[in-house]
Amino acid sequence: KAVYMPWKQTQSHAAKVEVKNVDYDQDPGMQFQRMLRRERDVLARSLDTLVQRREQILADLRALARRVEEVSQAVDIDLEEVARDELSSLSRISDADVAPQTSEGINQLLECNACQRYAELSMAIQAHEAELRQLLEQREAFEAVNTTSVVLA
C-alpha cells in the first residue's frame, strides 16, 4: 500500500501533476463571457440613454401642453376683448341719441371700425391657429419618438 508523501515526489509524479499554463485570452469560453459582458454594458448604456431621452420627451410634452393651453387661452381672451369693445362702442352710440340723417353715417363708421377690428382679429386668430398647428405637430412628433423609445426599452 502506497502512502502519499509530497516531499518525496518523484520526477515522474511531478510531471503528471504539472499545472498547465492556461492562456485565458485564447479560451473560447472566456472570450464568449467577455463578449456577453461587453454587450450587456452596451445595452445598459443604451437603455439608460433611452430612459433619459424618454424623460426629456415627457418634460417637453408637458411644456408643449402648457404652451398649447396658453395659446388657446390667448385666442379666447382676444375674442372676448373684441366682443366687449364692440358692445361698449355700440352701447355708447345708439340711434335714439343721433339724428336720423347722421345715424346712417355713424353706422357706416361703426361697420368700418368693426370690419377693421375683425380683420385684425382674423389675422391674430390665424397666427394663433398656425402656432397651435405647429405645436400639435411637434407634440405628435414627440409622441412618435416616445412610443418608439418605449418599444425599444
In three-state form (DSSP H/G/I as H, E/B as E, the rest C), the secondary structure along 15-65 is HHHCCCCCCCCCCHHHHHHHHHHHHHHHHHHHHHHHHHHHHHHHHHHHHHH
Residue-range domains of the chain with CATH: 42-152 (1.10.287)
140 band by pLDDT with thresholds 50, 70 and 90 = confident
CA quadruple 111, 117, 118, 120: dihedral, nearest 10: 150
pLDDT in tens, 9-33: 555 555 555 555 556 667 777 788 8
24: enclosing H helix or E strand: none
Could you tell me which residue, 55 or 112, shows the higher pLDDT? 55
- Specify whether the CB–CB gap between 47 and 153 falls below 8 A: yes
pLDDT in tens, 78-133: 667 777 777 676 666 555 555 555 556 656 666 666 677 777 777 878 888 888 88
